[in-house]
Structure 1
């Protein structure tokens, strides 16, 4: 399972890189359909087209990130849950000023047709970073 854990951490890193690069195709290729997200903005379900609209038209963009304290568990051979902390810098689309946030995140990945896809992601502001 250690190799699979390393593979999933690499996938999570690749997804974050796709966010920063605004590479919608790379990101959607890693998402299940439908996928779920829970954040301070609410709970959402979206398909690939919905994700594409959010990524291309959303008001905020991810400028940089640093993942730490990554942990992977396998409830089943076909399911993995990742938890970690992230320091992310966001900015309004088209603006240079960045806001840095400290978050606790989780992602649920499932293996379908021989490859891992993300079915759910959550993000929660860390209490020490809450305003």
Structure 2
């Protein structure tokens, strides 16, 4: 597959993952995750498997309401690894309170059994423009 087609596929998968959070679609989210995944955010670090992620996704106290993604870039350090970086604006509910946040994110995708799975995701609060 040409790299431009692979880039388009990673961008599509990243957006599908975000939409699965809004839709609370655990099946889609779990299908996009590697058997073990890592996450880093302002809340700390977390290692989880798809079943643990489903439990977090369905927690009624927390949820993503809407989002926009921009400035996406994808690189391929090898044929079986893709790293996506981008900016996100997210509206969410946390413990009954609405919250809006601008963040910069990265996701590492690995090829597993011929398909792409997200193995790591990082998120940092944005403090202005990110140099390119």
| TM-score (normalised: structure 1) | 0.92
* Structure 2 residue 38 is matched with structure 1 residue 36: yes
User: Which consecutive residues of structure 1, in runs of 5 or more, have no partner in the other structure?
Assistant: none
* 2:107 aligned partner: 107
Separation in 2, partners of 1:58, 1:75: 38
Q: For residues 51-99 of structure 1, what are the alpha-carbon distances to aligned partners after superposition, in whole Å with 9 as ceiling and x for unaligned?
A: 1111112632000000000000000000000000000001136x4x531
* Structure 2 residue 1 is matched with structure 1 residue 2: no
Separation in 1, partners of 2:55, 2:24: 12
Cα offset for 1:100? 1.0
Separation in 1, partners of 2:126, 2:106: 13
Separation in 2, partners of 1:12, 1:59: 24
Separation in 1, partners of 2:121, 2:26: 16
Root mean square deviation of aligned Cα:
1.3
Q: Aligned pairs, how many?
A: 126
* 1:18 aligned partner: 20
SS in 2 for 1:127: coil
Separation in 2, partners of 1:70, 1:19: 19
User: Which consecutive residues of structure 2, in runs of 5 or more, have no partner in the other structure?
Assistant: none
| TM-score (normalised: structure 2) | 0.91
